[in-house]
Amino acid sequence: MNSNMKRIIASFLLVILAFIVQTCIFPLLPFLAVYPNLMVILVFSFGFIRGSAWGMGYGLIAGLLMDLSSGGPLGFHTLIFIWMGYVNGICTKYYYEDYITLPLVLSALNEVFYNFYLYVFGFLVRGRLNFGYYFINIILPETIFTVVTTLILYRLFLYISRKLEEMEKRRDTTIV
């Protein structure tokens, strides 16, 4: 099995694991009123670390999983996650491995934008106009929790990405 296939399989497994934790485990924890959005963290992190193409790939898988589990229209989450992966991939040129400030800012911006997207197309179009309540009780706590979780998970995702790159380089040097 070549290293690119290993990277794709590892990426797919990461998305599946994040999806299972976010949709099956977090809701069972009674002390969590809101919980971090692992799918947003995953898509923006790998878009930022690996570039737009990888970010869009993660966004496609994450979005399809979220669409299939939500029971809403197919493509609702997929659209926002693919867009998120693409835009964060553009920021790759500002990527520095030990620079944590930009990933934290991107985490907050992505989470706020994702929740605003959900509000506009999930609530506002149905006549629910109380944005202040939605912002204070959902967007703000979830954003804070997601940014704090990003401190841990971003380093883990960076480590995984480095290890997969090392495997690719090792394979490439053994062939030549």
CA distances from 125 to 122, 128, 134 (A): 7, 7, 14
Show the domains of the chain with their CATH numbers: 3-170 (1.10.1760.20)
Residue 176's pLDDT is 53
| Prediction pTM value | 0.89
pLDDT of residue 12 exceeding 80, the answer is yes
Residue 175's pLDDT is 57
* Mean pLDDT, rounded, for 92-118: 87
Please provide the average confidence, as pLDDT, over all residues in the chain: 89
Q: Quick one: how far is CA 56 from the chain centroid?
A: 10
Nearest to 63 by CA among 42, 32, 48: 42
Residue 174's pLDDT is 60
CA distance 19 to 69: 10
CA distances from 124 to 9, 34, 129, 134 (A): 38, 21, 6, 11
Categorize the per-residue pLDDT at 124 as very low, low, confident or very high, splitting at 50, 70 and 90.
confident
